[in-house]
Amino acid sequence: MVSVSCNSAAAPGGVREASAAFILDPVSKVNSLFKPCISLSWNRSSFGSRKLIGAREAMALNQRITNPLCHVESIMHLPSVAGGNISKLNAVTLGEALASEENAFVFPSKVYSSQAHVQSPEQYLEMYKRSVEDPAGFWSDIASEFYWKQKWGDNVCDENFDVRKGTIKIEWFKGGITNICYNCLDRNIEAGLGDKVAILWEGNEPGMDGTLTYKQLLHQVCQVANYLKDIGVKKGDAVIIYLPMLMELPITMLACARIGAVHSVVFAGFSAESLAQRIIDCQPKVVITCNAVKRGPKTIYLKEIVDAAINQSAQNGVSIDVCLTYDNPVALKREDTKWQKGRDIWWQDVIPQYPTTCPVEWVDAEDPLFLLYTSGSTGKPKGVLHTTGGYMVYTATTFKYAFDYKPSDVYWCTADCGWITGHSYVTYGPMLNGATVIVFEGAPNYPDPGRCWDIVDKYKVSIFYTAPTLVRSLMREGDEYVTRYSRKSLRVLGSVGEPINPSTWRWFFNVVGDSRCPISDTWWQTETGGFLITPLPGAWPQKPGSATFPFFGVQPAIVDEKGNELEGECSGFLCVKKSWPGAFRTLYGDHERYETTYFKPFAGYYFSGDGCRRDKDGYHWLTGRVDDVINVSGHRIGTAEVESALVSNPQCAEAAVVGIEHEVKGQSIYAFVTLVEGVPYSEELRKNLILTVRKQIGAFAAPDKIHWAPGLPKTRSGKIMRRILRKIASRQLDELGDTSTLADPSVVNQLIELADC
């Protein structure tokens, strides 16, 4: 196998051959400059058919971009706020309300930039240049700020990104011995932060709360770690965690990391069948759960789901001997909990008995840290495997710079730890920085849509990180639920999970942040471990809806359907050229699928599966998954583009677009539309929405069907379940599949009832 060492300055170059048949949207080149959407399609059916081309043709088509800085240096052509008249750019500075035009810039103020970690485009470029030209030196300097029992070897990074040269391999800091729990807790306590609040817990009901200092958190982590060791959990063993957002969830994650066990957190909303799949795949020594939890007014009986999953696992040859169960009396009495003697253990009966100190299991940087399963509408869930050292360094660094974190900040990410955001930016990234983190168990609109801002005021939250879906749902309820609260503590806002359309971005900026707070619109994935493209508050002007520029060490590439890397203003498939420390190392037990899914579509690149447009200023506009595309009469139309046009109508709060079969067009556009609270359904509004799309995109993109939607089927973290929408639109109601992960499963029946309205 051929490996590429990152121990010296990288010199990109070489030839890439076309790897698969892809079709690039023919209308993408006419999209307006600042519209944050393109129209792309990945023709999955043609994946296996490779076109054979000659070496000369391959070189002509696929010559790599030789200057890794060429797409970030463009930022230097923009004027600075100190450099004169920005009004010609239709721009504002922090503190000024942003108008409705989509092509506006938002410049950081002089005061804001002067206090930021990265204060200017020049400073960013200097750091970025070193990160891509000397990745070993750049990341070694950052890694040295953490505790290592033993430093890594000569090669900081050893990688092979090209399937044509052998097995895909990514290694960072191999030979370095460390422990991420030690760096999250012990190191901070030794630095004098033992009495600083680590976790502020907010329960489902207002008034239910709790706190843990870093010292108290370490004590509880050690108790759980000692229990796990006592029941036979060793380094490398898997532990399934099926808990709601109690403090015990990050406690258990850290306890596993402390003893070198591999945790696999499963979102406490997945069905018994989904949980069983994960149990069968990783064969854990123990399952840790809770008897029940309240989500809003609803009770979820988690222990019953776990019981069913364990039974299914046993039928497939995987038995679970221990089920540690947290007693949550607010949701369910202990005596009402179904119980299996000899297997089930109450958390409160055993954990407090264990010592509050536990020796650290030192692990290699490349030893596994956790598994996190990602699932699609079909196929076996993919067990994404992250290792310790590189993930630790990367999540800590991205958290610090993307949110411009300061020790005085109170940070709240609304994500559940069942998803990667909860791993990287609720638990590990913040705590590696010694941050105070809010862990919220409840629903963000319970008991009313002002709950988020009530929490912000209660804890003086300064950094607020959430999903565009949640922002849109709160936007729908009206400004009054926001403006009744102060929110003066807010300093940075963040967006995660999907592209945020400009109108939502502006509302988030103007109303929630009072035009004072930059928005870190982060692009990343479960597989990447941390942010790859993100604004840096204070560093450069933002454009509403753009993820802006790559993070340090990240070399994004936009390629066409043949794998040719595109320069300048362009649209295409988003790939990454070289590895970064937080990258996942494999799919658990299926390295072949890992290579086929992520590295074979465009040989020599990591293929993200997302579409992207880069504008003339070098800003990146993420457009969602490239298979979220509709082919209407030969026009390939990105669903995100149509959704963005629909929500630009002031009476539309949210939209989700899917494609359904059409005997003439091939596919037709089917739009689910949620209106602003109080706006009635009407035929006139239906026509206006269609006209809006026609005007902004073209007649070919006009929806054939507007389906009124009181709500959309979403997971608790805010992800829209589009496979369910496709089944409803196609009237395949007997194929809806598992709806147990939805925040509100009743939405599905409401949509079915409104199908013919």
Residues marked active site are found at 627
Question: Following CA atoms 737, 738, 741, 744 in sequence, which dihedral angle do they give, to the nearest 10 degrees?
Answer: 60
Q: Which residues are CB-contacts of 204 (< 8 A; sequence separation ≥ 6)?
A: 293, 294, 295, 296, 330, 441, 442, 443, 446
Rounded Cα–Cα distance for residues 229 and 491 (Å):
42
Note whether 736 and 710 are within 8 A (CB).
no
- Answer whether 16's CB lies under 8 Å from 83's CB: no
Q: Omega of the bond prior to 710 within 30 degrees of 0, cis?
A: no
Angle (CA) 723 293 378, round 5°? 20
Specify whether the CB–CB gap between 96 and 515 falls below 8 A.
Answer: yes
**What φ, ψ does residue 63 adopt, rounded to 5°?**
-65, 130
Alpha-carbon dihedral angle through residues 7, 10, 15, 18, given to the nearest 10 degrees: 80
Report yes or no: 564 and 570 within 8 Å, Cβ to Cβ: no
> Rounded CA gap, 645 and 652, in Å?
10
Exposure of 749 in the CB half-sphere (CA atoms within 13 A):
3
Other Cβ atoms less than 10 A from the Cβ of 658: the count is: 24
Cβ atoms within 10 Å, residue 521: 28
CB-based burial of residue 154 (10 Å sphere; 0-12 exposed, 13-18 middle, 19+ buried)? Answer: exposed
How far, in Å, CA of 560 to CA of 18, rounded? 10
Is the separation of the CB atoms in 708 and 673 below 8 Å?
yes
Determine the 3-state secondary structure of 447 from DSSP.
coil
Helix (H, G, I), strand (E, B) or coil at 195: coil
Sign of the CA dihedral 303, 309, 313, 318?
negative
DSSP 303-334: HHHHHHHHHHHHHTT-----EEEE--TTTS-G
- Residue pair 236/261 in contact (Cβ under 8 Å)? The answer is yes
Strand-pair category, 635-638 with 629-632? antiparallel
Say whether 504 sits in a helix, a strand or coil.
helix
Q: Which of 290, 286, 361 is nearest to 318 (CA)?
A: 286
Contact by Cβ (8 Å): 644, 652: no
